[in-house]
Amino acid sequence: MSDTTFCIWHGTEGKRWKTGTISYPEGDDPDGSGWMLAILDGNPLTYQRWAEEYYERPLSASAVQQIYEGAPLTPGLIWELNPDVEFESIFADAAEIAYPVA
C-alpha cells in the first residue's frame, strides 16, 4: 500500500467511480491514473482497440459492447472474446465479482 499512487472503486450503486480525498503534487496526471486508466473511458471501442493491440489478435466489438452493457455471460459471448479460455474458470471469476451469468 505504501507504493500505491491511486485507488478507485465502483460499487453496485450508480455508475460513477469513486476516489478518496488525496493531496496531489503539482503537474499533469501526478498519480499516473489518467494514463493508466485511459482505456476505461466508458467507450467500448477504446478498450477494443487497446485489447487488439495488446493481445495481437482481433476482438469482437459486439462482444466488448455487451460486456460494457453488463450482458450476462454465456458460452457464446465468452467464446467471442476468447475461444481458447476454459468456461468454468471464467464463470468462477464472474461469480467472484458478481458479474451476471446466463
Write out the chain's pLDDT in tens, 102 residues. Answer: 667 778 888 877 777 888 877 777 888 988 888 888 899 898 999 999 999 999 999 999 999 999 999 999 999 999 999 989 888 889 889 999 999 998
**Does some domain include residue 23?**
no
Q: Sign of dihedral through CA atoms 64, 65, 70, 71?
A: negative
**Does some domain include residue 58?**
yes
Q: Which domain holds residue 57?
A: 29-96
**Does some domain include residue 14?**
no
How is residue 77 written as a grid cell?
459471448
Tell me, yes or no, if the pTM score tops 0.85.
no
**Does some domain include residue 69?**
yes
**Does some domain include residue 56?**
yes
Please give the span between the terminal C-alpha atoms of the chain, in angstroms, as a whole number.
36
**Does some domain include residue 51?**
yes
Q: Which amino acid is at 39?
A: I
**Does some domain include residue 33?**
yes
Q: Where are the alpha helices (DSSP H) in 1-102?
A: 33-36, 44-55, 61-68, 75-81, 87-96
Domain total of the chain = 1
What is the H or E stretch that residue 9 is in? strand 8-9
